[in-house]
Chain A
Amino acid sequence: MTIPNPGAGSPDKEPASEAQAAQDALDNAERAETATATGAETATATPAAGKPVGKPAPGKPTEPEARPSLGQLFLANLWAANTVTVTVLALVLAIVVGAVLMIISDPEVLATYSYITARPADALNASWTLVSEGYANLFKGSVFDPEAFSGWLNGSNGWEPVLAPISETLTYTAPLVFTGLSVALAFRGGLFNIGAQGQATIGVILAALAGFLLPLPPVLHLIVAVLAGALGGAIWGFIPGILKARAGAHEVINTIMLNYIAVYFLSWLIVQKGIQDPGRTDAISRSVDGSAQLPRLLGDNLRVHAGILVAVLATWAVAWLLNRSTLGFELRAVGANPDAARTAGISVTRTYVLIMVFAGILAGLGGSNMVLGSTASALTPLVVAQIGFDGILVALLGRVKPWGVALAALLFGALQAGGNRMQSYSGISLELVTVLQALIVIFIAAPALVKAIFQLRAARAARLHTSLAKGW
C-alpha cells in the first residue's frame, strides 16, 4: 500500500487548520462590515472566483497552510477580487442601479409608469431624459462643461468656468486621498483603521486651534497649523495602537469608540468661550487666520488649493514608505504574517503602534485640509463631513495601494463635485451620490455577484438569440 506524503506529520492536522481558517472567516464576518465580509468569504470558499492578477498562486495542497490572519484574508480577497474588469463593471452596475433610483424617486417620471402598457414611449422618454440629464450634470460638474468651454471660445465667459469642474473635483479629492491612505496603510499592516474619522476630527480641531489661536507669520503659521493637524491625528491613532500592542484590545472597537469621543469633543469645544465665534450664537468657532490657510492654486474664484499637492506628495511618500523603506518592509511583513515577522526579530507590537500613528497622521492631515482649505475656515460640528468613512471606501476601491487610493479618491471627489451640480440643475438629491459610492464598493466587494449578473445576462441573450440585452 502506498501512502501519500510519507514522513510529513501534517495531514492529521489539516482539518484543524481548515477549521481555524473557517473560524477566521467567521470572525471576519462578525467584525468587518457585512459587504466586505461577504466578499472575504466568497474568496475563501472559491479562490478561483476572482482573477488572480499579480497574486501568488495558492500553495501546494500538501503544505500545512499558515493560519491566515483577519487582515491577510481580507487583503487576499481584495486583490483577488478587485481586478480592473470588476471595478469597471461595478461602476457600470452602480450607475444602472443609480438610474433606477433616480426614476423611482422622481414622482413625475414614476407617474408615467402607471400607463406604461398604453404608452410605453412616455415612460421611456421621461426616464431617459431624467437619467441622461442627471448623469450629464454629474459629468459637467466634475470633469468638463462643454457650455463653459464654448462660452470661453466665443468670449462670453473667462477661462475660470472651464476649469471650475476640475477645481471642484480636486478640492473634494484632497482630503479623501489622506483618509484613504490612512486606512490603506493600516490595512497593509494588518489593522483595520475604522478610526480615520476620529483622527481627522482631532486633526481638524488642532489645525483650527493653531490657525486662530497662534499669532504667527504667514508661511510658518500654515506649516504649524498643518503639523498640528497631523499631530492630532497621530495622538488619536496612537491610542488604539498602544492599546492593541499592550493590551491586545481590538483596534476596530477602539477606533470606533474614539470616533464618538472625537466627534462629541468637537461639539463641546466649539461652544466654549474663546473658541466660539464671538459674533455668533450657533455652534461655530472663530475663523482660521488667513495666514494659516492653504493657498489657492488658480485664483480666488476657484476653490482648488494646495492641499491637493500635499496629497500627491503624501501618496508618493506612502508608496515609498511601503515599498522602499525598512519600516514599510516591517509593516508589510507584520501585515502578511505576524508570526514570521516576530520570528525574524521584528517587533510586532512596536510596528502596530507605528502603523496606527502613521495612519493617524495621514487622517489628521486630511482633517486639517477641511479647515485650512477652501471648504470651510471655521470649526462646525460637521466640518470634517464623512471623509473618514469615505476613506475606508476609497482605500477598498483603490486596492489599498497608494496610487490606487489616489485614483479612487479622484473618482469619489468627482462624484461629490458632480453631485452638487446634479442636485442644483437636475433636482436629484446629493444623497444619490453617496448611494452610488456605496453601490460601487458593494459591487467591488462582491465580485462573484458582479460576474454572476453579467454572465446571467450574457447567457440569457445567447439562448434567445436576440439583442434583448442591448441595454447592457
Chain B
Amino acid sequence: MEPGEIHALLGENGAGKSTLMNVLYGLYQPDEGEILVDGTPLKLKGPSDAIAAGIGMVHQHFMLVPVFTVAENVMLGAEQTRGGIGGFLDRRRARREVAEVSERYNLRVDPDAVIEDLPVGIQQRVEIVKALTREVDLLILDEPTAVLTPQETEELLAVMRSLKAAGKSIVFITHKLGEVKAIADRITVIRRGKTVGTASPEASRDELAALMVGRSVRLTVDKAPAQPKEPVLEVTGLVVDDDRQCRAVDGVDLTVHAGEVLGVAGVQGNGQTELIEAIMGLRPVLAGSVSLAGQGIHGWSTKKVLRAGVGYVPEDRSVDGLVKEFSVAENLVLDIYDRPPFGSGLALKPDAIAKSARERIEQFDVRTPSADAAVGTLSGGNQQKVIVARELSRPLKLFIAAQPTRGVDVGSIEFIHSRVIRERDIGTAVLVVSSELDEVIGLADRIAVMYRGRIIGVVGPDTPREEIGLLMAGITPDAATPENAATPTAATPDAPTAATTGDTTDGTTGPVGDPDGTTAGPATEGPVNEDKA
C-alpha cells in the first residue's frame, strides 16, 4: 500500500478477503507470514495495536451503540475525561473532534444525532469518522457498499476520494466490479485464500471476473452424462420475502427433472436461501406455485414436504441442520423419529434408532467416537455427513442441498459430491445451491444463475466460468457478448472521460444501478456495457 492510494480487494464470498483484513486489524492472529508497516514487521495482538499502528477498520456490520449520539460513539473506547480521576466525560471535546473531522473530509455528520435515527449510509460515515479521529493512515472498508443504496454508495465513493486526497490509504473490500473500476488505483484479486492477480482499474470487467471466479483446479466429480426424465420439481413465478419483508425471490421459474442435477449459482444473498426455504415450506409463498411430481406443494407444512419425498440439506448446518446437544444417533433420525421403525405411536424405539445409526455411520463414513457422542463434538465435515446420511437414507423424489460442502474438509467434499451424484443416478431430481462456483460446475448438469431474486440465465455446465461469473454479477451474456465483439465504437465515447469523474458515472451506474434493475425491470445492460472500453 502506498500513501494516498485506494487499493481494492476483490474476491468471491469466502475467498478470504475479510479474514485477511481481520488479521490486518489484529482481530485474528496470522499462522504464518508477517505484516510490514513502513518496512518494519508488525505484531498485532489486538485492534488497539492496529489503531496504534495507524490502521482503522470499518466492519461490514457496524460496531455502534444505537442509543448513543454520534459524538458518544466516536469517543467510545477512547474516552477523554477532564477533572482528573473519576472525572467527567469530555463530551464537548468529542463533539468538536467529530465536527472537525467531518468538516475536513466533507463527511457532513451531526455530532449530536442519535445513531438509531440515522440512515445506514450516515452510520457508516460515523464509523469512518470514528476511525479518522483515531488518527489512522490506513483505513479498511469491509464491503462498505453491501448495505448502501446507490445514492449512498455514490456519496461514499466521494468521501473515499476526499480521504485519498488527504493522503489516507484505503483498502476497499468488495465483490462489485463496477465500484472497483470507479475508484480503485490498484486491484488485488483473492481466491480461495490466495492472491491470484493484481490488476489496474483499466482492466476490463471480463478480465476481473475471470480472475475473481478463477480457473482453479476444478473439483473433479466423476459422473456419467445425466439422463433427465420427467420433471419433478416445477417452480413457477415464485415470489418470497426475506425476514425483513423485503422481496428476496421475485418471480422465479425453475424446473428440475428426475435424474439430473440443477445447480443454482449466485453470489450469496441473491435469494437462493429464501427460494429453498419457500420450497421446503419454511417460508410463506407470496405468489407463484411449487409442485412436486405434478402436485402443488406450496403452502404445505415442512413435515408434509419432507414426507412427500424431499430430502433437504440446509445451508447452515449448525443452526438449521443439527441439534448439537443431541447424539449422532438422534440427529440421524431428526426428521423421521416418529415413523416406523424408529417410533410407533408415542413411543420411540431406541434399539432401532441405534441400529440404523450404526449402519449410517458405517455407510457414510462418519468419523465419530460413538453413535451416542453429541454431534457438536464432531468436525464440520462429519457433521455434514450426518445430515447427508439422514436425508439420503430414505427414498426421495427430490434432493435439495444448500451449500452442501461449506466449511467442510476436502475429503468430505469428495464424499458428499459422490453421494449427490449417486442419488442423481438412481433417478432422484437434485437441486444444489452453492455460492462456490466450482462446486456448481462440478456437480450440475444445468446451471441456473440467480441474481437479485431472479434466475437471469440457465446455462450448461460447459459454459465458460467467465460467462457464469458475469451472470453472477448480473450481466447477461446476450447483452454483453454481441456488443463486446461487434461494436467497440459504442464504448469509445466514454473512453476519453477515463478520469475520475468519468469513472464514477460508469462504475456507479453499472452495478449500483442494479437495484433499480430489479424494481424497474432489466435495464442494466446499457450502462454496464459502457465499461467494455
Contact between chains at B280 and A64 (CB < 8 Å): no
- The smallest beta-carbon distance between A48 and chain B, in angstroms, is 16
Say yes or no: is B217 at the interface (Cβ < 8 Å to chain A): no
Which of A56, A72, A332 lies at the interface centre, i.e. has the most chain B CB atoms within 10 A of its CB? A56
Say yes or no: is B407 at the interface (Cβ < 8 Å to chain A): yes
Say yes or no: is A345 at the interface (Cβ < 8 Å to chain B): yes
Inside 8 A of A11's CB, which chain B residues have their CB? Answer: 18-19, 22, 28
Say yes or no: is B324 at the interface (Cβ < 8 Å to chain A): yes
Contact between chains at B436 and A7 (CB < 8 Å): yes
Restricting to B253-288, which residues have a CB under 8 Å from any CB of A? 268, 280, 282
- The smallest beta-carbon distance between B312 and chain A, in angstroms, is 7
Q: Which of A302-310, A334-342, A365-373, A462-470 contacts B (4 or more CB under 8 A)?
A: A334-342
Contact between chains at B61 and A16 (CB < 8 Å): yes
Inside 8 A of A344's CB, which chain B residues have their CB? Answer: 302, 306, 334-335
- The smallest beta-carbon distance between B342 and chain A, in angstroms, is 8
Contact between chains at B324 and A15 (CB < 8 Å): no
- The smallest beta-carbon distance between A342 and chain B, in angstroms, is 7
**Considering the chains assembled together, what is the distance between the CA atoms of A21 and B222 in angstroms?**
42
Inside 8 A of A346's CB, which chain B residues have their CB? Answer: 303, 335
Inside 8 A of A7's CB, which chain B residues have their CB? Answer: 14, 192-193, 406-407, 436
**Considering the chains assembled together, what is the distance between the CA atoms of A318 and B278 in angstroms?**
36
- The smallest beta-carbon distance between A81 and chain B, in angstroms, is 16
- Which of B13, B304, B348 sits near A329, CB closer than 8 Å? B348
Interface string of A64-80 (1 = CB under 8 A from B): 11110000100010000
Contact between chains at A57 and B321 (CB < 8 Å): no
- The smallest beta-carbon distance between A331 and chain B, in angstroms, is 12
- Which of A15, A65, A327 sits near B318, CB closer than 8 Å? A65
Inside 8 A of B120's CB, which chain A residues have their CB? Answer: none
Restricting to B308-325, which residues have a CB under 8 Å from any CB of A? 312, 314, 316, 318-325
Say yes or no: is A300 at the interface (Cβ < 8 Å to chain B): no
Contact between chains at A64 and B318 (CB < 8 Å): yes
Contact between chains at B374 and A56 (CB < 8 Å): yes
With A7-B436, A325-B347, A339-B320 already in contact, the answer to whether A333 and B334 are too (CB < 8 A) is yes
- The smallest beta-carbon distance between B17 and chain A, in angstroms, is 8
Say yes or no: is B60 at the interface (Cβ < 8 Å to chain A): yes
Say yes or no: is B38 at the interface (Cβ < 8 Å to chain A): no
**Considering the chains assembled together, what is the distance between the CA atoms of A337 and B317 in angstroms?**
11
Inside 8 A of A66's CB, which chain B residues have their CB? Answer: 316, 318-319, 324
Query: How many residues on B have C-beta within 8 angstroms of the other chain's C-beta atoms?
Result: 66
Say yes or no: is A59 at the interface (Cβ < 8 Å to chain B): yes
Say yes or no: is A154 at the interface (Cβ < 8 Å to chain B): no
**Considering the chains assembled together, what is the distance between the CA atoms of A347 and B307 in angstroms?**
14
Instruction: List the A residue with the shortest CB-CB distance to B16.
Output: A3
- The smallest beta-carbon distance between B259 and chain A, in angstroms, is 26
Contact between chains at A12 and B18 (CB < 8 Å): yes
- The smallest beta-carbon distance between B306 and chain A, in angstroms, is 5
- For the residues of B in contact with A, the DSSP-based class is loop
Q: Which of B126-134, B375-383, B465-473 contacts A (4 or more CB under 8 A)?
A: B375-383
Instruction: List the A residue with the shortest CB-CB distance to B339.
Output: A326
- Which of B63, B312, B322, B380 sits near A337, CB closer than 8 Å? B322
- The smallest beta-carbon distance between A76 and chain B, in angstroms, is 8
With A326-B346, A345-B301 already in contact, the answer to whether A12 and B322 are too (CB < 8 A) is no
- Which of A5, A65, A345, A347 sits near B306, CB closer than 8 Å? A345
Say yes or no: is A10 at the interface (Cβ < 8 Å to chain B): yes
Restricting to B332-363, which residues have a CB under 8 Å from any CB of A? 334-335, 337-338, 343, 345-348, 350
Say yes or no: is A279 at the interface (Cβ < 8 Å to chain B): no
Say yes or no: is A114 at the interface (Cβ < 8 Å to chain B): no
Contact between chains at A15 and B61 (CB < 8 Å): yes
Contact between chains at A59 and B318 (CB < 8 Å): yes
**Considering the chains assembled together, what is the distance between the CA atoms of A347 and B316 in angstroms?**
19
Interface string of A2-45 (1 = CB under 8 A from B): 11111111111001100100000000000000000000000000
Inside 8 A of B322's CB, which chain A residues have their CB? Answer: 337, 340
With A56-B324, A333-B323 already in contact, the answer to whether A64 and B316 are too (CB < 8 A) is yes
**Considering the chains assembled together, what is the distance between the CA atoms of A385 and B147 in angstroms?**
56
Contact between chains at A56 and B301 (CB < 8 Å): no
Contact between chains at B347 and A324 (CB < 8 Å): yes
Say yes or no: is B59 at the interface (Cβ < 8 Å to chain A): yes
- Which of A1, A16, A328, A340 sits near B334, CB closer than 8 Å? A340
Interface string of B1-42 (1 = CB under 8 A from A): 000000000000111101110110001101111000000000
Say yes or no: is B524 at the interface (Cβ < 8 Å to chain A): no
Inside 8 A of B514's CB, which chain A residues have their CB? Answer: none
Say yes or no: is A282 at the interface (Cβ < 8 Å to chain B): no
**Considering the chains assembled together, what is the distance between the CA atoms of A64 and B14 in angstroms?**
13
Say yes or no: is B195 at the interface (Cβ < 8 Å to chain A): yes
Say yes or no: is B435 at the interface (Cβ < 8 Å to chain A): yes
Contact between chains at B16 and A6 (CB < 8 Å): yes
Inside 8 A of A16's CB, which chain B residues have their CB? Answer: 61
**Considering the chains assembled together, what is the distance between the CA atoms of A324 and B407 in angstroms?**
34
- Which of B324, B348, B407 sits near A325, CB closer than 8 Å? B348
**Considering the chains assembled together, what is the distance between the CA atoms of A257 and B320 in angstroms?**
33
Say yes or no: is B330 at the interface (Cβ < 8 Å to chain A): yes
**Considering the chains assembled together, what is the distance between the CA atoms of A16 and B142 in angstroms?**
14
Say yes or no: is B326 at the interface (Cβ < 8 Å to chain A): yes
Contact between chains at B319 and A67 (CB < 8 Å): yes
Inside 8 A of B63's CB, which chain A residues have their CB? Answer: 15
Contact between chains at B303 and A336 (CB < 8 Å): no
Inside 8 A of A330's CB, which chain B residues have their CB? Answer: 337-338
- The smallest beta-carbon distance between B191 and chain A, in angstroms, is 9
Inside 8 A of B16's CB, which chain A residues have their CB? Answer: 3, 6
Inside 8 A of A280's CB, which chain B residues have their CB? Answer: none
Which of A12, A15, A19, A58 lies at the interface centre, i.e. has the most chain B CB atoms within 10 A of its CB? A12
Contact between chains at B330 and A329 (CB < 8 Å): yes
Instruction: List the A residue with the shortest CB-CB distance to B307.
Output: A345
Instruction: List the B residue with the shortest CB-CB distance to A12.
Output: B18
Instruction: List the A residue with the shortest CB-CB distance to B310.
Output: A345
Contact between chains at A57 and B303 (CB < 8 Å): no
Contact between chains at A336 and B20 (CB < 8 Å): no
- The smallest beta-carbon distance between B22 and chain A, in angstroms, is 6
- The smallest beta-carbon distance between B366 and chain A, in angstroms, is 16
**Considering the chains assembled together, what is the distance between the CA atoms of A289 and B23 in angstroms?**
76
Say yes or no: is A343 at the interface (Cβ < 8 Å to chain B): yes
- Which of B32, B343, B380 sits near A60, CB closer than 8 Å? B380
**Considering the chains assembled together, what is the distance between the CA atoms of A62 and B19 in angstroms?**
12
With A16-B61, A65-B318 already in contact, the answer to whether A2 and B325 are too (CB < 8 A) is no
With A57-B377, A66-B324, A324-B347 already in contact, the answer to whether A15 and B59 are too (CB < 8 A) is yes
- The smallest beta-carbon distance between B279 and chain A, in angstroms, is 12
With A12-B60, A66-B318, A326-B343 already in contact, the answer to whether A5 and B19 are too (CB < 8 A) is yes
Contact between chains at B377 and A63 (CB < 8 Å): no
**Considering the chains assembled together, what is the distance between the CA atoms of A63 and B268 in angstroms?**
19
Instruction: List the B residue with the shortest CB-CB distance to A346.
Output: B303
- The smallest beta-carbon distance between A31 and chain B, in angstroms, is 19
**Considering the chains assembled together, what is the distance between the CA atoms of A63 and B377 in angstroms?**
11
**Considering the chains assembled together, what is the distance between the CA atoms of A299 and B350 in angstroms?**
43
**Considering the chains assembled together, what is the distance between the CA atoms of A344 and B301 in angstroms?**
11
**Considering the chains assembled together, what is the distance between the CA atoms of A454 and B338 in angstroms?**
48
With A12-B60, A62-B407, A63-B318 already in contact, the answer to whether A341 and B323 are too (CB < 8 A) is yes
Contact between chains at B20 and A3 (CB < 8 Å): yes
Restricting to B46-97, which residues have a CB under 8 Å from any CB of A? 59-61, 63
- Which of A10, A12, A62, A326 sits near B337, CB closer than 8 Å? A326
Q: A-contacting residues of B (Cβ < 8 Å)?
A: 13-16, 18-20, 22-23, 27-28, 30-33, 59-61, 63, 142, 192-195, 268, 280, 282, 301-307, 312, 314, 316, 318-326, 330, 334-335, 337-338, 343, 345-348, 350, 374, 376-377, 379-380, 406-407, 435-436
Q: A56-B374, A76-B325, A344-B306 known; 7 other A-B pairs, CB under 8 Å?
A: A5-B19, A19-B61, A58-B376, A65-B318, A326-B338, A337-B323, A347-B303
5 pairs from A and B in contact (CB 8 Å cutoff): A6-B192, A66-B318, A67-B319, A339-B320, A340-B323
Q: Considering the complex of A and B, which 6 residue pairs feature the smallest CB-CB distances, nearest first?
A: A9-B14, A12-B18, A6-B193, A56-B374, A345-B303, A3-B193
